[in-house]
């Protein structure tokens, strides 16, 4: 069981979908895994991935963008996940597009 705010979760999904579209992805996969006491939500797409020269350390920083967007999508995701006691990471080992992992450990 995972407790969450439905409005915030819909905003998270909307931001994931919009980011995937901007990266020309035609597929977005949401995969849930249990890892010990943690529930992971892997969000991966088949878009062009992180642009060369992008600063991975700033990905979740408000206003940071590598597209023509506003740079609030990933920072909003991070804000809502952390508000619920979780965390968000970028999977740099994923090579078929872009993947973020939502660690929902406190949502249980």
Q: Rounded to an integer, what distance in angstroms lies between the CA atom of residue 90 and that of residue 56?
A: 8
- pLDDT confidence of residue 48: 93
Give yes or no for a contact between 103 and 88, defined as CB atoms under 8 angstroms apart.
yes
Per-residue pLDDT of the chain (108 residues; tens, 9 = 90+): 666 788 999 999 999 999 999 999 999 999 999 888 888 999 999 999 998 889 999 999 999 988 777 889 999 999 999 988 889 999 999 999 999 999 986 544
pTM of the model: 0.87
Environment class of residue 72 by beta-carbon count within 10 Å: exposed (0-12), middle (13-18) or buried (19+)?
middle
Closest CA to 62 of 77, 72, 50: 72
């Amino acid at each position: 069981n995972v407790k969450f705010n439905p409005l915030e979760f819909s905003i998270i999904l909307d931001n994931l979908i919009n980011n995937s579209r901007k990266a020309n992805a035609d597929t977005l996969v949401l995969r849930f895994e249990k890892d010990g006491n943690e529930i992971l939500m892997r969000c991966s797409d088949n878009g062009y991935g992180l642009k060369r020269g992008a600063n991975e350390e700033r990905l979740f920083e408000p206003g940071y963008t590598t597209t023509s967007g506003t740079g609030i999508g990933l920072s909003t995701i991070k804000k809502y996940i952390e508000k619920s006691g979780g965390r968000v990471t970028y999977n740099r080992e994923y090579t078929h597009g872009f993947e973020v992992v939502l660690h929902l450990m406190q949502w249980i």
